[in-house]
Amino acid sequence: QVLQIHMFCCNHNYSFPYFPESVFCFTGNNIEDDDFSVSTLLEKANANLGENLDDPLVMFGDIAVPTGLQNADPCTARGCLWNKDQDGNVYIPYSISNQFSQRERSIIVRGLESFHGSTCLRFRLRQRERDFVDIQSRSGCWSFVGRIGGGQVVSLSRNGCVFHQIVQHELLHALGFNHEQTRSDRDSHVRILLENVIRGQEHNFRKIDTNNLGTPYDYNSVMHYGRFAFSRNREPTIVPIPDPNVEIGRATEMSQNDILRVNRLYQCSEYFFQNLAFTFPGRREQNTRGRF
């Protein structure tokens, strides 16, 4: 864990002789500290998006929009969930393009499997299923929101997208989730400084009528953009309230809330409580009928 954090956020020029760098990492809210935040990685990797005519229209940083649906999102309204099996698991067929190296492939597989221990989702290699996640290295990192039918591309460019947190982030889109800072209740938790946003990128901060599934707003969600996302002047574009110094958008993996949301959206309660019973023996009876 520490090693990973070290790699992702201490790749800058500071030297701080008296403290381990990994401690230093968690302080500071400078733009340089945000180099490995999800949104900084996405912005870098997606800088030239739109030049390839084969790619779909990508909005909100990394969300691909199916043709004809530009104005009609909330994905849950169009039944975009993946199907639940009779055994209570949600099996999501996937394929991984052979463009990826063995190392990249194992990072992607680790991202897929990271859902298995804490949710009822099970990614498994596609056999003949009609709907599946088709992981390719196209230009940039992007995904559709929710299941759109057929083989749906999740693009993880070899050039800047094959990181654990990006894999999880794009998969969460494919499962039906939007960005945390577009949540319907975001104005109680963050202030958006549009005056600092790159002209023409303001739509990235549009609010969406999201289903928040009774979970709290989470600065530490892997779906939350960083403080300087789409900044045109190195000044913050997203500032937490009431405490402006709280860290935001620096997750290196799914938060507990991200996991809870998956479990609620896909009604993984049985699985979850079995797990809970395993963790806390004796709790099972009183909880098996519970729901999130």
Segment interacting with Zn ion (CB under 5 A) among 62-70, 197-205, 224-232, 249-257: 62-70
- Count residues near Zn ion (CB under 5 A): 1
| Burial category of 158 from C-beta neighbours within 10 Å (exposed 0-12, middle 13-18, buried 19 and up) | middle
12 is in an annotated binding site: no
* HEC secondary structure over 130-168: CCEEEEECCCCEEEECCCCCCEEEEEECCCCCCCHHHHH
Closest approach of Zn ion to the CB of residue 14, in Å = 28
Binding mask of the shown chain, residues 127 to 156, with x at each position contacting Zn ion by CB under 5 A: ------------------------------
Decide whether 61 or 93 has the Cβ nearer to Zn ion.
61
Closest approach of Zn ion to the CB of residue 216, in Å = 20
Please state, in angstroms and rounded to a whole number, the distance separating the CA atoms of residues 284 and 273.
7
Decide whether 25 or 45 has the Cβ nearer to Zn ion.
45
Decide whether 60 or 273 has the Cβ nearer to Zn ion.
60
Q: Are strands 63-65 and 121-125 parallel, antiparallel or unpaired?
A: unpaired
Segment interacting with Zn ion (CB under 5 A) among 18-26, 56-64, 109-117, 145-153: 56-64
Please state, in angstroms and rounded to a whole number, the distance separating the CA atoms of residues 107 and 101.
10
Closest approach of Zn ion to the CB of residue 165, in Å = 11
Decide whether 38 or 239 has the Cβ nearer to Zn ion.
38
- Residue 202 falls in the annotated catalytic set: no
Alpha helices for 26-138 (secondary structure H): 38-45, 102-113
- Catalytic residue, from 170, 180, 247, 253: name it: 170
Closest approach of Zn ion to the CB of residue 2, in Å = 26
Please state, in angstroms and rounded to a whole number, the distance separating the CA atoms of residues 126 and 91.
10
By three-state DSSP, how is residue 92 classified?
strand
Q: Any contact of residue 73 with Zn ion (CB under 5 A)?
A: no
Tokens 């003949």 belong to residue: 128
Segment interacting with Zn ion (CB under 5 A) among 19-27, 61-69, 72-80, 256-264: 61-69
Closest approach of Zn ion to the CB of residue 159, in Å = 17
Q: Give the residue, chosen from 34, 43, 62, 258, that forms a contact with Zn ion under the rule CB under 5 A.
A: 62
Decide whether 8 or 272 has the Cβ nearer to Zn ion.
8
Cβ-contact 97, 136 below 8 angstroms: yes
Closest approach of Zn ion to the CB of residue 191, in Å = 21
**DSSP characters over 210-241:** ---TTPPP-TT-TTPPPTTTTBSSSS-SEEES
164 is in an annotated binding site: no
By three-state DSSP, how is residue 6 classified?
helix
Segment interacting with Zn ion (CB under 5 A) among 16-24, 58-66, 147-155, 237-245: 58-66
Please state, in angstroms and rounded to a whole number, the distance separating the CA atoms of residues 112 and 124.
9
Query: Which position's Cβ is nearest Zn ion?
Result: 62
Cβ-contact 270, 246 below 8 angstroms: no
Decide whether 33 or 62 has the Cβ nearer to Zn ion.
62
Residues at the site binding Zn ion, with contacts judged by CB under 5 A: 62
Annotated binding site for Zn(2+): 169, 173, 179
Question: Residues with catalytic annotation?
Answer: 170
